[in-house]
Amino acid sequence: MIFRYTILYVDDVPATLDFYERAFGLERGFLHESGDYGEMATGATKLAFSSTKLMRQLGKDPARPAPKAPVFELAFEAEDVPAALNRALAAGATLLQPARDEPWGQTTAYVSDLNGYLVEICSAVQLPSAG
């Protein structure tokens, strides 16, 4: 079994794809002609978006994301966290936590996307050296 994709439910798939391109520099994989499903090209595992309208047609009732009470987060690793944070904010992300150095040696910042999903922008985790 392989982990193929994560799908987030959003009201406007095309606008969300545009936001992720501008905010995080991701590349659009495709957008279905219906506008109800799209993917970002992120390697072997895709970040996908499905419209809430489509999910309701399929008998699902997706909940609204709550960035201050999240049940998960997306994390994007960046070499320059403050610069990546500024790019996301310029694209319309909402600041939840400015960039800060964590005790475990990582720099983190948090925003919410235009749908309210929690997104971490972080540096690589500094693993302890073996020895």
Does a structural domain hold residue 43? yes
The count of structural domains within the chain is: 2
Among 125, 83, 81, residue whose Cα is nearest residue 103: 125
Q: What whole-number distance in Å separates Cα of residue 122 and Cα of residue 103?
A: 13
What DSSP designation does 57 have? H
Q: Are 76 and 84 in contact (CB under 8 A)?
A: yes
- Grade residue 80 by pLDDT with cuts at 50, 70 and 90: very high
Instruction: Determine the average pLDDT of the residues in 62-68.
Output: 91
- Grade residue 128 by pLDDT with cuts at 50, 70 and 90: low
Does a structural domain hold residue 26? yes
Q: What whole-number distance in Å separates Cα of residue 1 and Cα of residue 32?
A: 26
Question: In this structure, are 45 and 11 located in the same domain?
Answer: yes
pLDDT at 118 over 70: yes
Q: Which of 4-13, 87-96, 97-106, 119-128 has the lowest mean pLDDT?
A: 119-128
Q: Are 5 and 48 in contact (CB under 8 A)?
A: yes
Cβ atoms within 10 Å, residue 115: 18
pLDDT at 96 over 90: yes
CATH assignment of the domain containing 43: 3.30.720.120
**Strand order in 37-41's β-sheet?**
5-10, 46-51, 37-41, 27-31
- Quote the mean pLDDT of the chain: 94
- Grade residue 131 by pLDDT with cuts at 50, 70 and 90: low
